[in-house]
């Protein structure tokens, strides 16, 4: 790995009850070149139980602090992360592959949740409601829910953590985090900085190892009151079922299948820019990445031509190399899924307009690809490809495209481009999605509630709504007045 300014950020043990602990067991590799970056423990149920018990012990003292006090610790954590952003981005690109500029952007984005919830901690208020009796008062408190388990994916090794952990800690909860096995080093560097920021032992725990064993404890231990998960819909359903046994709250951010609709009254150049941003960011490996591009008849050919010109200019390579905007995919499996989707589309009549195969760099590099003649019966119309493939569908009417866009079990992000004001509202309201980008391909910010409907999830992260997920309402009836 490239040298870090502060090599002590590179931690390779689980962080439990304020201690880094565990024997080296599992290799962490760089997806761009196969380099082994380090070894982390293979912890399981026993260590997960210790971590939950530590979080449970730390809960009451942490929750009892004033919000302003918790806020100050979060703020210090934010500042330490910003001061270490180059090192953190270096660790992130090394284990995840995304271009270094994108990694820096992710660190800033991840830190923004900590900054925001440091502020929001102080604004979690209760209510005094009009009472049903003259001699009573109705008081409503918002209290922290308790120990929070967070299970996160590899595509945003920093931001998916802070989006859960920051609001949880701000609300007064303590946390046991299980990061993705592909990207534990970013998570552990964040834990190191959290310790330096002054979070008490047990407040944040990071456990690395066997997902199924750890997940089993996190979803069944009676002290865990909320399980927050970002990842595949399949695993989300498993965790939800497991959490039912102890009636935990589950906050899920699952897969998407984002449509991107270009109407014939759109600014075509802007639509092409938006399509590139929403399709090719992180090599197509985000849950809000465009998965289906629908273009209206009249502008179809012009859009495709401009799209091909832009996509063919995307430079592929190691995330640290100058000018690279497309790194490797995360694993060989990810490449195989992309190949399967393309082969299925071709067999059903689609055509390759650009790319379509592994990149000459080898490893897990794939050529940025544009397909035309794509139809709803193809695999890539029905599930997330999670790779650098832009499939273009042709449509005629607004009703037809809304029906097609909504014909999926998922409902995370949707995008459309139009310059017609009436259409903006009409289409936005009819799209069955938690988030809609109108004339923009970039929607993520800590200031807005991020989340999906249908099988894409049941919670929101970001904004003032995001912290309320980690609180419980308590109603106190004060009588005899």
**Residues contributing to the site for ligand ADP (CB under 6 A):** 151-153, 178, 180-181, 211-212, 215, 231-232, 235, 238
Q: Which is nearer to ligand ADP, 157 or 172 (CB)?
A: 157
Q: Are 174 and 55 in contact (CB under 8 A)?
A: yes
Helix or strand holding residue 130 (H, E) = none
Helix or strand holding residue 148 (H, E) = strand 147-151
Q: Are 141 and 114 in contact (CB under 8 A)?
A: no
Tell me how crowded residue 373 is: count the other CB atoms within 10 A of its CB. 17
Q: How far apart are CA 279 and CA 303, in angstroms?
A: 15
Nearest-approach distance from CB 152 to ligand ADP, in angstroms: 6
Nearest-approach distance from CB 434 to ligand ADP, in angstroms: 19
Nearest C-alpha neighbor of 49 from the set 211, 242, 221, 173: 221
Nearest-approach distance from CB 180 to ligand ADP, in angstroms: 4
Q: Based on the number of CB atoms within 10 Å of its own CB, is 234 exposed (0-12), middle (13-18) or buried (19 or more)? A: exposed
Residues 6+ apart with CB under 8 A from 343: none
Q: Which is nearer to ligand ADP, 153 or 356 (CB)?
A: 153
Q: Which is nearer to ligand ADP, 297 or 409 (CB)?
A: 409
Q: Which is nearer to ligand ADP, 80 or 283 (CB)?
A: 283
Nearest-approach distance from CB 426 to ligand ADP, in angstroms: 34
Nearest-approach distance from CB 66 to ligand ADP, in angstroms: 33
What is the largest distance, in Å, between two alpha-carbon atoms of the chain?
A: 79
Q: Which is nearer to ligand ADP, 242 or 420 (CB)?
A: 242
Residues 6+ apart with CB under 8 A from 47: 14, 16, 21, 22, 41, 207, 209, 214
Nearest-approach distance from CB 232 to ligand ADP, in angstroms: 3
Tokens matching residue 15: 């962080």
Find the distance separating the first CA and the last CA of the chain, reported in whole Å. Answer: 68
Nearest-approach distance from CB 185 to ligand ADP, in angstroms: 14
Q: Which is nearer to ligand ADP, 48 or 276 (CB)?
A: 48
Q: Which is nearer to ligand ADP, 217 or 299 (CB)?
A: 217
Q: Are 80 and 249 in contact (CB under 8 A)?
A: no
DSSP class of 353: E
State the number of CA atoms in the 13 A half-sphere of 298 facing the CB. 7
Helix or strand holding residue 370 (H, E) = strand 369-372
**The dihedral formed by the CA atoms of 13, 17, 18 and 20, expressed in degrees to the nearest 10:** -10
**Could you write out the DSSP letters of every residue in 397-417?**
-HHHHHHHHH-SSEESEEEEE
Q: How far apart are CA 253 and CA 460, in angstroms?
A: 8
User: Is 35 marked active-site?
Assistant: no
Nearest C-alpha neighbor of 297 from the set 395, 431, 190: 395
Nearest-approach distance from CB 467 to ligand ADP, in angstroms: 23
Which entry of 106, 253, 384, 398 is annotated as an active-site residue? Answer: 253
Q: Which is nearer to ligand ADP, 161 or 392 (CB)?
A: 161
Nearest-approach distance from CB 443 to ligand ADP, in angstroms: 20
Q: Torsions phi, psi of 226, nearest 5?
A: -145, 135
Residue with tokens 């936005």: 428
CA 430 to chain centre: 25
Q: Which residue is nearest to ligand ADP (CB)?
A: 215
Q: Which is nearer to ligand ADP, 45 or 378 (CB)?
A: 45
Which of the residues are catalytic?
Answer: 253
């Amino acid at each position: 790995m490239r040298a870090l300014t502060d090599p002590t950020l590179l931690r390779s043990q689980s962080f439990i009850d304020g201690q880094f602990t565990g024997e080296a067991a599992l290799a962490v590799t760089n997806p761009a070149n196969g380099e082994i970056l380090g070894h982390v423990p293979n912890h399981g149920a026993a260590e997960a139980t210790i971590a939950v018990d530590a979080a449970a012990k730390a809960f009451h003292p942490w929750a009892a602090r004033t919000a302003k006090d918790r806020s100050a610790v979060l703020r210090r954590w934010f500042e330490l992360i910003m001061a270490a952003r180059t090192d953190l981005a270096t660790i992130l690109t090394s284990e995840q592959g995304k271009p270094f500029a994108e990694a820096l952007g992710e660190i800033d984005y991840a830190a923004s949740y900590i900054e925001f919830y440091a502020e929001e901690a102080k604004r979690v208020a209760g209510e005094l409601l009009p009472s049903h009796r003259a001699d009573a008062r109705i008081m409503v408190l918002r209290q922290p829910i308790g120990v929070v388990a967070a299970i996160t994916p590899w595509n945003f090794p920093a931001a998916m953590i802070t989006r859960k952990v920051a609001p949880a800690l701000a609300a007064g909860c303590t946390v046991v985090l299980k990061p993705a096995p592909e990207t534990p080093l970013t998570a552990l560097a964040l834990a190191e900085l959290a310790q330096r920021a002054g979070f008490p032992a047990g407040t944040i725990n990071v456990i690395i190892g066997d997902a199924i064993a750890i997940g089993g404890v996190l979803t069944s231990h009676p002290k865990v009151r909320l399980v927050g998960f970002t990842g595949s819909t399949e695993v989300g359903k498993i965790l939800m079922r497991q959490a039912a046994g102890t009636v935990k709250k589950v906050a899920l951010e699952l897969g998407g299948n984002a449509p991107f609709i270009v109407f014939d009254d759109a600014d075509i150049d802007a639509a092409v820019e938006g399509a590139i941003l929403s399709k090719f960011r992180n090599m197509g490996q985000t849950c809000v990445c465009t998965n289906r591009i629908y273009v209206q008849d009249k502008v179809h050919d012009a859009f495709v031509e401009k799209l091909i010109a832009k996509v063919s200019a995307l430079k592929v390579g190691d995330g640290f190399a100058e000018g690279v905007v497309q790194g490797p995919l995360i694993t060989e499996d990810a490449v195989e899924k992309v190949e399967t989707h393309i082969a299925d589309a071709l067999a059903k009549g689609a055509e390759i307009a650009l790319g379509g195969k592994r990149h000459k760099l080898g490893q897990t590099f794939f050529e940025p690809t544009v397909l035309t003649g794509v139809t709803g019966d193809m695999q890539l119309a029905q599930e997330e490809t999670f790779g650098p493939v832009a499939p273009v569908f042709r449509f005629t009417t607004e009703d037809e495209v809304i029906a097609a866009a909504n014909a999926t079990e998922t409902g995370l992000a949707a995008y459309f481009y139009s310059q017609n004001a009436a259409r903006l509202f009409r289409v936005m309201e009819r799209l069955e999605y938690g988030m809609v980008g109108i004339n923009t391909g970039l929607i993520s910010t800590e200031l807005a509630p991020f989340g999906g409907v249908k099988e894409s999830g049941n919670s929101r992260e970001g904004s003032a709504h995001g912290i309320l997920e980690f609180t419980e309402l308590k109603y106190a009836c004060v009588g005899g007045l």
